[in-house]
Copies of this chain bind each other. A is one copy, B any other.
Amino acid sequence: MRGYEMETLSGGAVAHVQGECISFGPALSLSGARMHYERNAEIFGEGEPAQYVYRVLSGTVRAIRITSDGRRQILAFHLPGEIFGLELGANHSFSVEAVTDCELVLVRRSIVDRAAAENPAAAHAVVKLLASELSDARAHALVLGRKGASERVAAFLLQLAERGASNELNLSMSRADIADYLGLTIETVSRAFTAMERDHAIDLPSSRRVVVRNRAALAELEAA
């Protein structure tokens, strides 16, 4: 999912208002409405009609599912530039909430569907998007199924560092969000951070700020 928007957004030949549309290929950008959501607001809920496709302009959102007894699993975080909310069924199969205050672009799903039906390039862009999300979901399954606590946290940090293309991370999400993404508890996540700092793999200037000091050490931890 990551690389893709960069490519199409920068490669678009059609002039368009920056940020006010979603690109589905170099020759096709669908314009949409800009909306603001505040921290912890629900953007859409599981089971609701899937009426829009979204792109993050600023802020972070989380895609979540809740078990019948209340446990929460975060399926993905979406950062600026990323698209989410694409569904095939009539209804959303998960909920999305704002991790921080954020700006989103909304495009009617009917418009996206029509574009995909009429324009092969648009259809291909949708396929690309889904394939990328699928790949992410599978990588996530590997982490959840077969890795220990500190490996999970290391994988998470490396993933963020790649996405942000920087070793200095501003975590927009709480320990609780990280824990629910990694299938752990907040205490375990916290201990993993502390241990990594002790081992000089990262610095923790504050709880929301992480500096990756030794990416190789993190990668090794992740592999462990």
Interface residues of A (CB under 8 A from B): 65, 67-69, 71-73, 75, 86-89, 93-94, 116-118, 120, 123-124, 126-128, 130-135, 137-138, 140-142, 144-147, 180, 182-183, 223-224
Contact = CB atoms under 8 A, between A and B. Distances in A.
Given A145-B144, A146-B72, A127 B123 contact: yes
Contacts of A68: 223
Nearest to A134: B134
A146 B183 contact: yes
11 contacts: A71-B146, A73-B141, A87-B131, A88-B131, A93-B135, A116-B124, A120-B120, A123-B124, A126-B127, A127-B127, A144-B144
Given A69-B223, A116-B124, A132 B94 contact: no
Q: Is the contact region of chain A dominated by helix, strand, or loop, or is it mixed? A: helix
A140 B141 contact: yes
A144 B147 contact: no
Given A116-B124, A124-B123, A126-B127, A144 B224 contact: no
**What are the 6 A-B residue pairs with the smallest beta carbon separation, nearest first?**
A145-B183, A88-B131, A144-B144, A123-B123, A137-B137, A130-B130
A140 B127 CA distance: 21
A130 B87 CA distance: 10
A42 to B, nearest CB: 18
A157 B148 CA distance: 26
